[in-house]
């Protein structure tokens, strides 16, 4: 193929050479007093050279424009990475309460089309929203701004204001759990009562962790009245939290107050662990518990509850019988307190055949 092309080009060159030698012709270009005269073939060569020159100039211009475009793309990519870095810094600082420093980063994002809305949202949450950001974000991101603002207020101890912000949001599981967290963080029984009413309306029980914090707040209360008030608002009890509840009740110094609080909890939460707690407390102060014990027994949920109640009450008098009852019931119910009592009695009675398994069950 290359041979044929070469031969064709040679033939064309020979033909042009022959024509030039026979009659070169001429071209005359006149403009005013100026004239340009040359052969036809020279003019044809100049036209071809001019065409190649124009192509070369166009190519150089295109490459120059391409360099400019690449430069702009590099600049835009650099600005995007910078904005993303500022976003991460602003968010990170806001999480540890460094509001002023976070707002400095957010202010640099106001003119960034990709991150402007997010910056306005965060500024609103951090309490630095300007008139323009509030106007732009009010309708579309109101809930998110209030949610983030309540979180930020919680982190700096502004529990009452955080609760007020949350109260304006729809009532659902997420907002309900946040409301309980705020009330527990503030150790405020008034807020807690409102928060528990909130979650009750949506038929949601506070989480296991929240109930654990609730018990801790009750345990650290200043006096018996405060401790009882916390226990009155206890929203539920998970089976492995009954041991903590026993310790809280034992911290109530007035035996009569302790009995009333325990009986109210058995009535409100008739679980096996509650009957075990009541029986153990009754063994410590039988003179106060004996009369109300009859009412508690009469409303026991089943035979296992009665067995636990009586075994716990008689634990000091007949530990062997109580241990046997505990072992019988332990396979059917879930209770951390019950596993603890099995271990305690096994050690006290030197039951080496039970201690190892009791330790595994309690751990």
* Alpha carbon 125 to its chain's center: 16
| pLDDT value, residue 337 | 94
Q: Across the 363 residues of the chain, what is the mean pLDDT of every consecutive 10-residue run?
A: 71 66 68 74 76 81 68 76 76 68 75 69 58 46 75 85 86 88 92 89 84 92 92 88 93 94 92 94 92 91 94 93 93 91 93 89 82
Paired residues of 127 in beta bridges:
none
pLDDT at 138: 47
Distance CA 178, CA 135 (A): 27
pTM, 2 dp: 0.64
**Per-residue pLDDT, 120:** 67
**Amino acid 245: pLDDT:** 94
pLDDT per position as a tens digit, 121-148: 666 666 554 444 444 444 556 677 778 7
pLDDT at 57 (0 to 100):
81
Listed by start position, the domains of the chain span 241-363
CA distance 102 to 95: 9
The pLDDT score that the predictor gives to residue 130 is: 43
């Amino acid at each position: 193929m290359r041979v044929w092309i070469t031969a064709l080009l040679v033939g064309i060159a020979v033909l042009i050479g022959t024509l030039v030698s026979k009659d070169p012709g001429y071209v005359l270009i006149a403009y005013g007093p100026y004239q340009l005269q040359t052969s036809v073939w020279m003019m044809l060569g100049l036209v071809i050279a001019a065409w190649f020159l124009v192509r070369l100039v166009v190519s150089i211009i295109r490459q120059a424009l391409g360099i400019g475009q690449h430069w702009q793309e590099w600049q835009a990519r650099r600005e995007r990475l910078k904005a993303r870095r500022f976003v991460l810094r602003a968010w990170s600082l806001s999480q540890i309460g460094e509001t002023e420093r976070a707002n400095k980063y957010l202010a640099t994002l106001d003119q960034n089309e990709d991150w402007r809305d997010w910056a306005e949202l965060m500024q609103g949450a951090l309490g630095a929203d300007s008139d323009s950001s509030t106007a732009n974000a009010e309708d579309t991101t109101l809930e998110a701004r209030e949610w983030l603002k309540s979180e930020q207020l919680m982190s700096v101890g502004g529990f009452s204001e955080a609760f007020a912000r949350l109260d304006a949001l729809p009532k659902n599981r997420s907002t309900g759990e946040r409301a309980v967290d705020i009330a527990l963080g503030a150790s405020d029984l008034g807020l807690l009562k409102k928060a528990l009413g909130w979650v009750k309306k949506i038929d949601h029980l506070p989480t296991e962790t929240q109930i654990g914090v609730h018990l801790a707040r009750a345990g650290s209360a200043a006096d018996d009245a405060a401790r009882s008030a916390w226990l009155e608002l206890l929203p539920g009890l998970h089976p492995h939290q009954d041991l903590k509840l026993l310790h809280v009740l034992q911290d109530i110094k007035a035996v009569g107050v302790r009995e009333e609080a325990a009986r109210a909890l058995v009535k409100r939460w008739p679980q096996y662990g509650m009957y075990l707690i009541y029986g153990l407390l009754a063994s410590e102060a039988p003179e106060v518990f004996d009369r109300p014990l009859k009412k508690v027994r009469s409303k026991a949920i089943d035979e296992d509850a009665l067995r636990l109640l009586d075994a716990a009450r008689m634990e000091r008098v007949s530990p062997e019988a109580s241990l046997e009852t505990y072992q019988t019931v332990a396979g059917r119910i879930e209770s951390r307190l019950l596993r603890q009592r099995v271990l305690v009695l096994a050690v006290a009675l030197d039951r080496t055949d039970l201690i190892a398994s009791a330790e595994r069950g309690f751990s």
